[in-house]
Amino acid sequence: MTTLLSQPVFALYALCSALVILILYGIGFWTAKTRAERKAVVNAEDVKVNNGARVVDVEHPDVQRIKRAHMNALENAVPFFVIGFLYTQTSPSMTVARALFFSFVAIRLLHAVFYVTAKQPFRTATFVVGALINLTMVVQVIRAAL
């Protein structure tokens, strides 16, 4: 029985998808760490696990920024997961797939760092490159489907 993971391009996609998921978890842990350092939580029960924290109505601006970075990462990861999977079914060149998949992972990691550290125009540039990578795969999937 042949599995998807026995196909080299799909295995590469699976690896890169796993790396994107690690980035998402990394940003989530970064949020928790920053929230704990700022000693401000929005849920009363969180005071029990964050010594010295107080309950606030609005998250600290540093926490809000990381959460926006996380939301942006999620908004871009979902299309990657879908279009990347479909792209693997178009019999793409391994070289091109490797360039697209690894570039997307690197760009999304850089985007998160640039977002949290408020680095413009790098944040916008990395967002655009990531979107172009996904759109490149969209075009290839449409071409293969037609």
- Summarised one tens digit per residue, pLDDT across range 78-121 is 999 999 999 999 999 999 999 999 999 999 999 999 999 999 99
Predicted TM-score (pTM) of the model is 0.92
Spell out the domain ranges in the chain.
7-145
pLDDT of residue 50: 84
Spelled out in words, what is the top-level CATH class assigned to the domain 7-145?
A: mainly alpha
Query: How many other C-beta atoms are found inside a 10 Å radius of the C-beta of residue 12?
Result: 19
Residue 18, phi then psi, degrees to nearest 5? -60, -40
Tell me the mean pLDDT in the region 47-71.
92
